Amino acid sequence: MRILVIEDETELRELMGRALKREGFAVDLCADGAEGLYFATEYPVDLAIIDLGLPGMSGMDIVRKLRGRQLRYPVLILTARSDWQDKVEALELGADDYVTKPFRLEEVIARVHALLRRSAGHAAAEVDLGRLSINLSAQEVRLDDAILDLTGFEYKVLAYFAHHVDQVVSKMELNEHLYDEDADPDSNVIEVIIGRLRRKLDPEGDWQPIETLRGRGYRFRPERD
């Protein structure tokens, strides 16, 4: 999943970037409001963390503009003010949640997980997909109740699929949402990872949860009728 962080305080921005990357997210960092709006509207963002007091353009304006362009991904607001007036204004503009500064990074990460889960339609951290269950907070995957050992990147791909169940996901989309802006992945890498994931999820070959759609990409269908 790809997270955009718009925060002008350099140290805080870098810290959040590192923490989110450790959680397996692809992260774009922005220090300025106008640049942030460009990223927020032009990049395939899954969630944005926006500071309210930004140079160039206020966080509120960015939220208003991206909601005005029908971009519906979750937005987490960072604010130094804890008044309900400010919170309500941000939420009314289209933000989904807020964190008051100063905050603990763990709290931001927890909110990010909760918002992503909610945007995929999962109410709880535990996502039940038939034989497969994924705990999005603990990043733990169980197949037939046994813990499945996945590499970091395999988990990222599977988690992205879990957020897009029954949807067609192109290789390009996976690239965009799983890699940072400056990374230059070999397109074969995705194919290799999908192959490994298939073998781990379906060693017998009788389930086939990941379909290949020729020329279009993949479709994750863990629970077929």
Q: Is 92 in the site for other proteins (CB under 8 A)?
A: yes
Q: What gap in Å lies between CA 32 and CA 22, rounded to an integer? A: 24
Assess whether the previous peptide bond of 209 is cis (omega < 30° from 0): no
Least Å distance, CB 102 to other proteins, is 6
Rounded to a whole number of angstroms, the minimum distance from the CB of residue 223 to other proteins is: 22
Instruction: Work out whether 76 is an interface residue with other proteins (CB under 8 A).
Output: no
Number of amino acids touching other proteins (CB under 8 A): 15
CB 57 within 8 A of CB 76: no
| Position among 42, 70, 85, 225 found at the interface with other proteins (CB under 8 A) | 85
Measured CA to CA, the distance from residue 147 to residue 61 in angstroms comes to 45
Q: Which is nearer to other proteins, 84 or 186 (CB)?
A: 84
Residue at 3: amino acid letter:
I
Work out whether 121 is an interface residue with other proteins (CB under 8 A).
no
The residue range among 19-27, 85-93, 132-140, 153-161 that interacts with other proteins, by the rule CB under 8 A, is: 85-93
Cβ proximity of 202 and 209 under 8 Å: yes
Name which position in 70, 123, 214, 215 contacts other proteins (CB under 8 A): 123
Residue 122 DSSP one-character state: -
- Is 67 among the residues that bind other proteins (CB under 8 A)? no
Strands 217-220 and 210-213: antiparallel
Binding flag, residue 176, other proteins (CB under 8 A): no
Among the residue ranges 27-35, 39-47, 83-91, 177-185, the one whose residues contact other proteins (CB under 8 A): 83-91
Q: What stretches of 57-170 adopt beta strand conformation (E)?
A: 75-79, 97-100, 126-129, 132-135, 140-143, 146-147, 168-169
Residues that bind other proteins in the complex, under the rule CB under 8 A: 82-85, 87-88, 91-92, 96-97, 102, 114, 118, 123-124
